[in-house]
């Protein structure tokens, strides 16, 4: 949204969290709960619980969960 001066007002319409962010959080939460022993076990768990999610997102969840 723009103010009367033409500047963008970022507080006027805050954006909700992206669906991808929520999905990534859910996948990392799964990894925290299950505590897989290896990366292969973690990817297997993510593939089992999120079969329609692309591999790139499952890897992103694995990397985020490793932090």
Q: What is the pLDDT of residues 24-61, one digit of tens each?
A: 999 999 999 999 999 999 999 999 999 999 999 999 99
Buried/exposed 8-19: b ≥16 CB within 10 Å, e otherwise: eeeeeeeeeeee
Q: Where are the domains of the chain?
A: 37-67
**Helix (H, G, I), strand (E, B), or coil: what is residue 8?**
strand
Look up residue 5 and give its two tokens.
Answer: 């001066």
Helices 55-65, 19-34: axis angle to 10 degrees equals 60
Q: In this predicted model, which residue has the larger pLDDT, 23 or 20?
A: 23
């Amino acid at each position: 949204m723009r103010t009367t001066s033409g500047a963008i007002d970022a507080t006027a319409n805050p954006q909700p969290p992206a669906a991808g962010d929520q999905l990534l959080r859910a996948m990392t939460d799964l990894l925290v709960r299950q505590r897989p022993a290896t990366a292969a076990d973690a990817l297997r768990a993510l593939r089992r619980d999120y079969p329609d999610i692309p591999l790139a997102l499952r890897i992103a969840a694995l990397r985020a969960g490793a932090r």
